[in-house]
Amino acid sequence: MTTLTLEQETNPWEAQAARFDYAAKKLNLDQGIWKVLRYPTREIIVHIPVGMDNGSVEVFTGYRVQHSIARGPAKGGIRYSPDVSLDEVRALASWMTWKCAVVNIPFGGAKGGVICDPKKMSQGELERMTRRYTAELIEFIGPEKDVPAPDMGTDEQTMAWIMDTYSMHTRQTCTAVVTGKPVNIGGSRGRREATGRGVSVVCDQAIQHLGMSIQGCRVIVQGFGNVGSNSAKILAEKGYTVIGIAEYDGALYNRNGIDIVALIAHKKAAGTINGFTGAEAADKDELLTFECEILIPAATENVITSRNAAQLRCKILCEGANGPTTTLADDILDDKRIFVIPDILANAGGVTTSYFEWVQDRMGYFWTEAEVNQRLDSIMTESFSDVVAYAKSHLVNNRIAAYMLAIDRVAYTTKQRGMYA
Ligand code: NAD
């Protein structure tokens, strides 16, 4: 896996494909199935006209990539960011297939994205863009086809607009078309915090597995959005000491622990973590290399690369974000014996509770938050054990173990269904 050029190193699709090929080879995967699973099933590109507030019309480019429907409807988030590219969406769609298989829920994988800067758009512009994007995809999404969810730059409100637009077109309220909705229109209790909760569960498991203690366990989190802030909040509630938070525009450090609830309130009011008085300002890139027990990248891809991996001083790297670590960095982390909880396991709490939301919508019967959390905890605990046991029995690292486990499950189903080829 060390033959990648630097340019390939930061291409998420190449990074995904390199891990897939390595794991498929280890599995001795049948050549035909290898080719089928390596590429997405369907890639849709749309150019969306949007009436802007100043009276002009802007055209945004959007994607939806469905990687696999072998194990169930395609499932995956929608990202709004200026950096969205087809290769990124392809990689994220494949990761969704592997993630759903790691936690053994009946979904395939998909992802969507629109190239835009949501921070610079009004609510009205975002709503019009979301509705037109949904309308362009109308025949490709649906509870039995492809079920979107929030990702970077999108939230519960975005999902409510998608649900409403889809329902207007199909002439009936259809809540199960998306997950991550507000609770009063078919959302699941616990979904908002689910990815962070899942991150906290696998951290608990890793601590136990490595014979460490929560007491005095220092955590640094990059990204203070949905995943980062909820991971930090739940870990702090469990007794971990969150000593550092990095955002795109600055970072905070307090060796005695940051009051996460107060920081969430500060960010809500100020729109940034900067200016928070309960911690000192730090360099956002250097913070990742500060000494800690657990480092949680929970922002975006390619933040741990061959350029900074050697400087990391954590014992556990728990990947809240998708694709935060490049393949070249993987080798360095292996050499440093850092215990990696790979993204397709660590952040699977979100899609697991999305699965619960889809089930509840289809039943029309809603669970208590305690029921949701208890079911999530047991799936994350079991999946952690599966991956660690697989790594041990196949003498591979946790990331390759997670890929092998997932590919094995998807390949098995593909064979069982038979190929329409
Ligand atoms: P979000 O938009 O709510 O938050 C992302 C945060 O990261 C923002 O606060 C942003 O300012 C910050 N950020 C962006 N680039 C940064 C950088 N270079 N350095 C530091 N901070 C940066 O998004 P989210 O939903 O929390 O998603 C974060 C990551 O987790 C993504 O990789 C996403 O694919 C992954 N993920 C999200 C979910 C979910 O349920 N939301 C589930 C699984 C995986």
Element (H, E) at 126: helix 123-136
Q: Which residues line ligand 1 (CB under 6 A)?
A: 150-153, 195, 222-228, 246-248, 298-300, 320-322, 347, 350
pTM of the complete model = 0.96
The predicted pLDDT at position 4 comes to 59
The predicted pLDDT at position 198 comes to 98
For residue 343, the CA-to-ligand 1 centroid distance in Å is 13
Tell me phi and psi for residue 47, to 5 degrees: -115, 115
> Which residues are tagged catalytic?
111
Sign of the CA dihedral 388, 391, 394, 399?
A: positive
Mean pLDDT, the chain cut into blocks of 10 residues (421 residues total): 68 92 97 96 98 98 98 98 97 98 98 98 98 98 98 96 98 98 98 97 98 97 97 98 98 98 98 98 98 97 96 98 95 97 98 98 98 98 98 97 98 95 86
Sign of the CA dihedral 282, 341, 21, 146?
A: negative
The predicted pLDDT at position 9 comes to 84
Probe residue for ligand 1, chosen from 157, 300, 325 as the CB with the greatest number of ligand atoms within 8 Å = 300
The predicted pLDDT at position 7 comes to 73
Name the residue at shortest CA distance from atom 14 of ligand 1.
299
Three-class SS state of 364:
coil
DSSP state of 179: S
**Ligand 1 atom with minimal separation from the 354 CA:** 40
Name the residue at shortest CA distance from atom 22 of ligand 1.
248
**Ligand 1 atom with minimal separation from the 323 CA:** 32
For residue 195, the CA-to-ligand 1 centroid distance in Å is 11
Probe residue for ligand 1, chosen from 79, 226, 252 as the CB with the greatest number of ligand atoms within 8 Å = 226
**Ligand 1 atom with minimal separation from the 180 CA:** 40
**Ligand 1 atom with minimal separation from the 151 CA:** 25
Name the residue at shortest CA distance from atom 43 of ligand 1.
347
Name the residue at shortest CA distance from atom 17 of ligand 1.
248
Name the residue at shortest CA distance from atom 33 of ligand 1.
321
Element (H, E) at 299: none
For residue 31, the CA-to-ligand 1 centroid distance in Å is 36
For residue 204, the CA-to-ligand 1 centroid distance in Å is 22
The predicted pLDDT at position 1 comes to 47
- Residue tagged 């990815």 (tokens): 195
**Ligand 1 atom with minimal separation from the 224 CA:** 9
Burial 130-155 (b: 16+ CB within 10 A, else e): bbbbbebbeeebbbeebbbbbbbbbb
For residue 36, the CA-to-ligand 1 centroid distance in Å is 30
Probe residue for ligand 1, chosen from 88, 116, 152 as the CB with the greatest number of ligand atoms within 8 Å = 152
For residue 312, the CA-to-ligand 1 centroid distance in Å is 20
For residue 160, the CA-to-ligand 1 centroid distance in Å is 20
Q: What is the DSSP string of 370-385?
A: HHHHHHHHHHHHHHHH
**All domains of the chain, ordered by start, with CATH?**
39-185 (3.40.50.10860), 194-346 (3.40.50.720)
**Ligand 1 atom with minimal separation from the 99 CA:** 43
C-alpha closest to that of 257 among 223, 293, 303, 300: 293
